[in-house]
Structure 1
Amino acid sequence: MNKKTRQKIHQKKFVIWFIAVALSILAIFVGNRIATKDFSLFSVSAEETVKGKVIAVLDRSIDEIPVGETESYTSTNITFTAKIKNGLYKDQVVTVQQLIDSMFAGSEFIKEVEPGDNIMLLKMDDPNTDVTPWQFVDYYRFDKIVILGLIFAGLVLLIGRWKGINTLLSLTFTFLFVFFVFVPSVMNGYNTYISAVITCLYTITMTLVLINGASKKTLATMIGCISGTIIAAVTTTIMSRILHLTGFVDEHSIYLTMLNPDKPIELTAIIFAAIIIGAMGAIMDVAMDISSALFELCEHAPNITFQKLFKSGMSIGRDIMGTMANTLVLAYIGSSLTTIMLLLTYSDSLLHLLNREIIIVELLQALIGSSAIILTIPLTVITCGFLYIRSNESNKKPVSTS
């Protein structure tokens, strides 16, 4: 391949990459405009939460409050000054109180404020007084997460280089689409099933095109991933009806139904979205691993037959299957560990525990996600066989008989 041909290939790849980025941004912008039409994500409140920095501790007092005849609890009141860092009261120095009551579980782990701490403050307007009281809400933690995020981005760029840039872009676009298009659309009363499907299609297409460009490998991965996601979606719909799910898995479900009385959120649709979006990442990973491995195999063994390619693909898939299924199951267990421990404590029997809807939904997520991963393997292998083998055969030059 000469220099001119390589330049044309690189130019073509750049044009495809640029179009993919532009269309991804456009989809987020247009989707957000549609999803948030006549809708405000954050409610307007007379109270305002701002960031502040502790300047000095003025006073610390401890009151012992009796409860009954023999018991009591302590209430620690710390008065301090803080400088406001944002909002209408930026740069003002205000007097703040931090209250720590021992009657609340975990109060012994609450850190008392010290000079230099970054905190969150709540301004509570009281129409009966001229004094503007400020209360300590919590410690400001997001800046530490930002630092960790920058370290993560640096590692991705250091190891992935150009692929790392595309990885960060795809991750950013996915995050923006989920939280600026999908979530507002659901809260605004749009069809959750359609929104979830659109989110999956956007994420799959955008991620694969950005990372691999327009190629046979991308197409094979896309078909395999979409097939696995469809399996997860269909299975979730069927099982939701068979199991008579209501969607009321915890107290948050009740609050969701109150958000939009005119267009109430369908809780079973939330379960559907959670399962297919949660499984999509693992399905994409499996499809990508298989299509990449088989693509390299076809590149180095252009005369390989469909049967041998299928056998090799299934062998690779079996190695991936165990770890990916474990990854998905452990991810769901880890995310709901506190809830599971609480339910174990307050359930009267194992039978009662296993029939709680919240446990059923967790099991459903793990089983459907793992099943979709398993079925994605042969579907991706077959797709790769048709695309790669046919491409290799069409690229073979006819042998001269002269």
Structure 2
Amino acid sequence: MLRLTVRKRKDVFVYLSTVVFSILFILVGNRIAMRHVVDRSDSDDVIEQAKVTKIVERVSDDEMLSDGEIGENTVVTFVAEITKGERKGMSIVATQAIESYESMTTREVQQGDRILLYERTIVEGEDPTWVFGEYLRTPTLYKLLAIFFVAILLFGRFKGFNTIVSLAFTCLAVFAVFIPSILSGYNIYFWSILVSVFITAMTLLLIYGASQKSLAAALGCIGGVLVAGALTLIMDRGLMLTGITSEDSVFLLYLDTPNPISLKAIIFAAIIIGAIGAIMDVSISISSALSELRDNAQNPTFGLLLRSGLSIGRDMMGTMANTLILAYIGSSLSTVVLLVAYNSSLLELFNREMIVVEILQSLVGSLGMLLTIPLTSLISASLYTGRWWARRRSPQPVHEDEEI
């Protein structure tokens, strides 16, 4: 009873310490990362949430396109009621302009739609005009997110709650620390590894606590991530990458930062951040399975645990490699389809830098995950059969005067 109480206190201390450290990491990291971030927002538009209450008119005219076809420009005038903010309840007249090249992608507003409106002053001194900005999609996303969180809590209970907390810290680490560090012109290689190590340690400590299982998984995961990073640096030179994989990447070159943003470093960070989830999954699965084997086997030896870890890893290898490859393909499926449609030569297609980078991400991530299997198995077998575990398993005498 005494031993369980002490262990419970230790778990609570580790949990709270991890939460406090994570908060400090986010706050301090954000302050450092934001040090040289420039506010590049040059828009004075006022954005309001509104609901369409009435369609006033729809005006269309034809336009001759560059390919000789006739396109249609449409202007929809409607009445909307502002639903939030200081002007809540105010009815305004706004317009939605749909150019001919947008006619296939933009839906005309309808009564009852929830939208974002922009207040714009076109001519100084005249009354501002209201124009359609975007459909308000976040409420639907919030509902789906709520369902996701409820499902995690119902299935995982307290570990599910810890999963949500770790997910929140992970998102904050990426969006409040890592991305601002890029915009400040800091070393992307250093910050991507720092954030990856933080995510790994924080996630394992919050969900699994301070234990040999977490230590083995953390060491195996960090080792796999470092291997993936090293392979990326090696292949970077061999593949003669420039980092220009899309129009968006070109715009990064024109950002005003103290140090120019390295597009090659962006590729490195994308591979590391993209692979860390799968690598962590592999490492904790092996570490947890070997921990259960140690607790239930009569005489677990180093060789038995190592062989078992490698066997479990081989069973996981195929599906996890597919997970990475399919995730990367799915994230840029539209672009891949276009490239395949307009390239008659497979040789040319597979030498395009964008395709090469996608393949590189898949292969390097899979190799990092593959090498995580023997590394985590070796570390777990070493820790689980060490002297520390032998002392822990030995019975401890309980004195009568001890507080139970």
Could you tell me the TM-score, scaled by structure 2's length? 0.93
**How many Å separate the matches in 2 of 1:65 and 1:56?**
27
Q: Tell me if structure 2 keeps the 8 A contact 1:41–1:184.
A: no
Work out the percentage of aligned pairs sharing the same amino acid: 45
The aligned residue for residue 360 of structure 1 is 356
Pick aligned residue for 1:213 from 197, 201, 209: 209
Give 1:88 shift: 6.7
Match status 1:104 vs 2:104: no
- The one-letter amino acid of 2:293's match is L
Match status 1:37 vs 2:38: no
**How many Å separate the matches in 2 of 1:83 and 1:40?**
35
Q: Tell me if structure 2 keeps the 8 A contact 1:83–1:93.
A: yes
Q: Tell me if structure 2 keeps the 8 A contact 1:52–1:120.
A: yes
**How many Å separate the matches in 2 of 1:314 and 1:269?**
33
Pairs within 5 Å for 1:1-400: 2=1, 4-40=2-38, 43-66=41-64, 71-86=69-84, 90-101=88-99, 103-104=100-101, 107-108=103-104, 110-128=106-124, 130-390=126-386, 391-395=388-392, 397=394
**How many Å separate the matches in 2 of 1:211 and 1:264?**
38
**How many Å separate the matches in 2 of 1:41 and 1:307?**
58
Give 1:40 shift: 4.3
**How many Å separate the matches in 2 of 1:389 and 1:299?**
11
* Farther-moved stretch of structure 1 (75-84 vs 366-375): 75-84
Q: Aligned in 2, Cα 1:254/1:89: closer, same or farther, shift over 3 Å?
A: farther
Q: Aligned in 2, Cα 1:95/1:373: closer, same or farther, shift over 3 Å?
A: same
Give 1:129 shift: 5.5
**How many Å separate the matches in 2 of 1:160 and 1:67?**
56
Q: Aligned in 2, Cα 1:267/1:90: closer, same or farther, shift over 3 Å?
A: farther
Give 1:69 shift: 12
**How many Å separate the matches in 1 of 2:38 and 2:62?**
44
Give 1:84 shift: 2.8
Q: Tell me if structure 2 keeps the 8 A contact 1:282–1:328.
A: yes
- The one-letter amino acid of 1:157's match is L
Give 1:241 shift: 1.2
Q: Tell me if structure 1 keeps the 8 A contact 2:36–2:257.
A: no
Q: Aligned in 2, Cα 1:302/1:221: closer, same or farther, shift over 3 Å?
A: farther
Give 1:264 shift: 1.3
Give 1:123 shift: 2.2
**How many Å separate the matches in 2 of 1:330 and 1:41?**
36
**How many Å separate the matches in 1 of 2:39 and 2:77?**
34
- Aligned-residue CA RMSD (Å): 2.0
| Partner deviation per Cα, 1:247-303 (whole Å, 9 max, x = no partner) | 111111110111125421010000000001111110000000000000000001151
**How many Å separate the matches in 2 of 1:99 and 1:126?**
15
Give 1:35 shift: 0.7
- The one-letter amino acid of 1:104's match is Y
**How many Å separate the matches in 2 of 1:362 and 1:53?**
41
**How many Å separate the matches in 1 of 2:285 and 2:257?**
45
Q: How many residues align?
A: 394
Q: Aligned in 2, Cα 1:69/1:388: closer, same or farther, shift over 3 Å?
A: closer
| Partner deviation per Cα, 1:21-48 (whole Å, 9 max, x = no partner) | 0110111011111111142456242223
| Partner deviation per Cα, 1:77-96 (whole Å, 9 max, x = no partner) | 21011123456755432211
| Partner deviation per Cα, 1:294-323 (whole Å, 9 max, x = no partner) | 000000115111111111111111111111
- The one-letter amino acid of 2:321's match is A
Could you tell me the TM-score, scaled by structure 1's length? 0.93
**How many Å separate the matches in 2 of 1:245 and 1:93?**
54
- The one-letter amino acid of 1:145's match is L
Give 1:132 shift: 1.1
Q: Tell me if structure 1 keeps the 8 A contact 2:183–2:257.
A: no
Q: Aligned in 2, Cα 1:47/1:372: closer, same or farther, shift over 3 Å?
A: same
| Partner deviation per Cα, 1:38-83 (whole Å, 9 max, x = no partner) | 4245624222333221121111223233558974222222101112
**How many Å separate the matches in 2 of 1:334 and 1:69?**
32
**How many Å separate the matches in 2 of 1:26 and 1:128?**
46
**SS state at 1:79 partner:** strand
Unmatched tracts of structure 2, length 5 or more = 396-404
* Farther-moved stretch of structure 1 (118-127 vs 373-382): 118-127
**How many Å separate the matches in 1 of 2:374 and 2:326?**
24
- The one-letter amino acid of 2:223's match is S
Unmatched tracts of structure 1, length 5 or more = none
Q: Tell me if structure 1 keeps the 8 A contact 2:37–2:257.
A: no
Q: Tell me if structure 2 keeps the 8 A contact 1:76–1:99.
A: yes
